[in-house]
Structure 1
Amino acid sequence: MELGNIGTAMVTPFSPDGTINYENTGKLLEHLIANGTDSIIVSGTTGESPTLTVTEKRELLDFVVKVVNKRVPVIAGTGTNNTAESIELTKAAELSGADGIMLVTPYYNKPDQKGMYAHFSAIAKETFLPILLYNIPSRSIVNLLPETVIALSEIANIKAIKEASGSLEQMAAIIEGTDDDFQVYSGDDSMTLPLLAIGGRGIVSVSAHVVGNEMQKMIKAFQNGQTKEAAKLHRALLPVFSALFSSPNPIPVKYALERLGIPIGGVRLPLIAMDASQSELIDLALENFSKTQSVAE
């Protein structure tokens, strides 16, 4: 599974009536492909997957695969806390022509490490698609430990992990314990450069919706040995990352996209729009970042 430097966890555009807006989804896809996105993840947390029906997930993936037309890989978020449903969604992803699937750690059920291994391995046996594991303890409560990831990496089609534990120590243990072709991606934008420094591959990003080109510049500077330049860009980007997570994801990034003239619409309940003070934080962060980059150029 090759996601490139940046996989973007795509937001789902909605119309005023709350339905998926496919016209704006097409516009968003073109924006992402033109602005630093190497691969697209559909129906992840940022895509408000908890509020998408199974039918909506299937139809959205069909549309994205068709519009992208192999220009970049498309990864389908098919993981749930129900193994049988995850397999059903994964089969649908195969039919859609997805290039891979992302499987989040089962939430709410609170399985132990053996349960998570059984869950992921059961899904892996039912598909030929490459698998990106997704560990996010802050949302799922459970933490997929390095030893479990290492064991899962021995399954042929489990190829990578999106690590959002926030622990560099945990990420390092996974990198150290897996084969070189197993890829570790950060699930936190602010951890992109630190993860690269310990041998990680890249980022599955939210902020790339807005600053994808600048994030690519940072990553490529690091890859080219320009570590001071990469660090400088990292420091400049941190306030943007922070602002885009100042309210529950994806509320801020949807606001930021609308601010940039990219029609996205609102969020579905139980998420609600930001108030004026929250939006001012994002305005300020983006304006300050724009100024710093203008000075740098």
Structure 2
Amino acid sequence: MADLSGINLAMQTTFNADGSINFSAYEELIEQYLADGVHGLVLGAGTGQHPYLTEQECNKLYEIGIKRINGRCNVICQTSALNVDEVIRRSKHAEANGADALMVLPPYFEGPTDDDGLFSFYEELDSAIKVDVVGYNIPQSTGIAVSVPLLLRLAELPSFNYIKDSGGDMTTHQQYLQTSVKVLNGADTIAPFAFMGGAVGAIQGTANYMPKEAVKLYNLIKEKKLEEALELWKLMLPSVLLLWTGNYLPMVLKAAHLRGYGTGNLRKPLRAISAQEELALKEAIAPLLK
């Protein structure tokens, strides 16, 4: 089983102004994040605008990214898709290229929502690959909540060793922590409390614009320097709250660009933030460490 502890940055995809992928900027950004000490990178993450990337584009991102990273941190590839055969095809490709783990959403659009149907989906994936699968609980986006009884069943599958919990419900989060599945927090607003409660790490979108702070927060809590950690959290929280209650993805990319990470460009149908949103964003990120 791969050790996915720590901050796994849900990496943005670097686009040119016309919406094409800038692979040179992508490799440069990987080097920046590695220099900032992240423990892992999630390629093709939701923050990387995965729904708007083709399968071929994702495969190329994984090939280039894994080669560039070259074992210097963990690599998690999102291989989610609506068609099961496509999920397996994407997953096998990422595995063959050296991914340490695969992040896979449940079949999120008019697919099965019952526990038996969801279990069958992950069971079929498990039979096709050998690397770890990171399940994904994000009911606010998929309409599907991974129940605790389902997670207990999924834990029996050899590959299903992690779950990313982006639900933000601390009760469910703590129930997950009672199982044998290792929990990665995905709800940035509860990050320090998830780490204190036993989450082994995070898959974090806001780390795109504050990678050093995210890593430092995790390390301080791991070192049990809780007072210092919560002082740092006070500086991080304004922007996290703004993004999680507002125009999340475009704001993440804008904040990252303002702090020197990435191109700041979006792919349609996403749209740039307004002047008013940008002003609020600049105020929210102002307290962050330089």
Short-chain TM bin: over 0.9
Match of 2:198 in 1: 199
State how 1:66-215 maps to structure 2 within 5 Å: 66-111=67-112, 112-176=114-178, 178-179=179-180, 182-215=181-214
Measure how far apart 1:168 and its partner are.
Answer: 1.1
- In structure 2, relative to structure 1, the CA distance for the partners of 1:243 and 1:27 (3 Å cut) is farther
Distance 1:130 1:64 in 2: 18
- Amino acid aligned to 2:271: I
- Structure 1 residue runs of 5 or longer lacking an equivalent are none
CA separation in 2, counterparts of 1:265 and 1:225?
35
Q: Which range moved further: 249-258 or 117-126?
A: 249-258
Distance 1:78 1:249 in 2: 22
1:38 is aligned with what amino acid?
H
**TM-score, length basis structure 2:** 0.94
In structure 2, runs of 5+ residues without a counterpart are none
Amino acid at match of 1:33: L
1:243-268 Cα shifts (integer Å, max 9, x gaps): 33354432112111221233424111
Q: Does 1:240 align with 2:239?
A: yes
Letter in 2 for 1:147: P
**Counterpart residue number, 2:222:** 223
Matched-pair contact (CA < 8 Å) for 1:46–1:249: no
The offset of 1:193, in angstroms, is 1.2
- TM (norm. structure 1) is 0.92
Deviations 1:168-204 (A, max 9, x none): 111111111x22xx31011111111111222211211
SS at match of 1:90: helix
* CA deviation vs aligned residue, 1:111-166 (integer Å, no higher than 9, x gap): 22211111111101100111111111111111111111121112111111100111
Instruction: Tell me the distance in 2 between the aligned counterparts of 1:206 and 1:36.
Output: 15
Within a 5 Å distance, the mapping from 1:268-287 to structure 2 comes to 268-287=267-286
Q: In the alignment, is the contact (CA less than 8 A) between 2:19 and 2:268 conserved in 1?
A: no
Matches within 5 A, 1:57-72: 57-72=58-73
What is the aligned-residue RMSD (CA, Å)?
1.5
Q: Deviations over 1:61-113 (max 9, x none)?
A: 10101111111111110022221110010111122221110011221124222
1:50 aligns with 2:51: yes
Distance in 2 (alpha carbons) for counterparts of 1:286 and 1:196: 22
User: Is residue 245–residue 252 contact of structure 1 (8 Å, CA) maintained in 2?
Assistant: no
How far did residue 50 of structure 1 move?
0.7
Whether the aligned pair in 2 keeps the contact of 1:7 and 1:205 (CA below 8 Å) is: yes
Aligned partners of 1:110 and 1:141 also within 8 Å: no
Return the letter of the residue paired with 2:266.
V
% same residue:
26
User: What SS class does the counterpart of residue 104 from structure 1 fall into?
Assistant: coil
8 Å contact kept, 2:256–2:264: no
Q: Which moved more, 1:249-258 or 1:7-16?
A: 249-258
- Equivalences, count: 288
**Distance in 2 between the 1:26 and 1:93 partners?**
18
CA distance change for structure 1 residues 251 and 175 in 2, over 3 Å: closer, same or farther? same
Which position in structure 2 is the counterpart of 1:9?
10
Distance in 1 of aligned mates of 2:104 and 2:262: 28
Indicate if the aligned counterparts of 1:43 and 1:49 stay in contact, CA closer than 8 A: yes
Q: Measure, in 2, the Cα distance between the counterparts of 1:57 and 1:83.
A: 17
Moved more, 269-278 or 189-198: 189-198
